[in-house]
Amino acid sequence: MPLSSPSLVSVPATPWLAIELHFPIAEAASHLDPAIQEVLAALAHHGLSPAGPLVCRHLARPTTHFHLHCGFPVPAGASFPPSGRLVLATLPETQVFRAVYRGGYDGLAGAWGEFMGALPGLLSAHPTLAPSGPFRESYLTDPSSVPDPAQWETLLDIEVKLR
């Protein structure tokens, strides 16, 4: 099954180095790949490796454009001087409805559609919760290490808050 059953999960606050991006959906590859490489280069410049998988935190539901922060968790206590569009920030502690999608990136939109279709049932099972707006994708599989897209795993998280 490409999408696991969603569940409610608590996620801790996580420091991360990220870039804010806003671009047309059709231009995703030309913006995301350079941003990812920019964050990785900054980490390497400071002698650090990512402390977790790539995370994209979408600030708005995409219609014609993506508006998101894209970056990697960093070790606690890491510091970075201001540098261009890079921002050392914190992914907030929160609760999320989480599902795991297995498959190529071209299937993410369909997986999100399926997940969003399950959202009313999740909310009725948890009547004190409401979506807070942002949602996240955490890319658990490195395509350069696992070339078969059918084996790639991506966490899909919908951030929620108390009503």
Does residue 43 belong to any structural domain of this protein?
Answer: yes
Is residue 71 domain-resident? yes
- What pLDDT was estimated at residue 156? 98
pTM (2 decimals)?
0.95
Q: Which structural domain range is residue 102 located in? A: 7-162
Query: Residue 1's pLDDT is what?
Result: 64
Q: In what order do the strands lie in the sheet with 86-91?
A: 7-11, 94-102, 153-162, 129-139, 54-58, 65-73, 14-24, 86-91
Q: What pLDDT does 95 receive?
A: 98
Count up the domains in the chain and report the number. 1
Predicted local distance difference test score (pLDDT) of residue 131: 96
Q: What is the mean pLDDT of each run of 10 residues along the chain (163 residues)?
A: 94 97 95 96 94 96 95 93 90 97 95 96 97 96 95 98 95
- In whole angstroms, what is the distance from residue 142 CA to residue 97 CA? 23
Which CATH number do you get for residue 35? 3.20.80.10
Q: Is residue 1 part of a domain?
A: no
Which pLDDT score is estimated for 132? 95
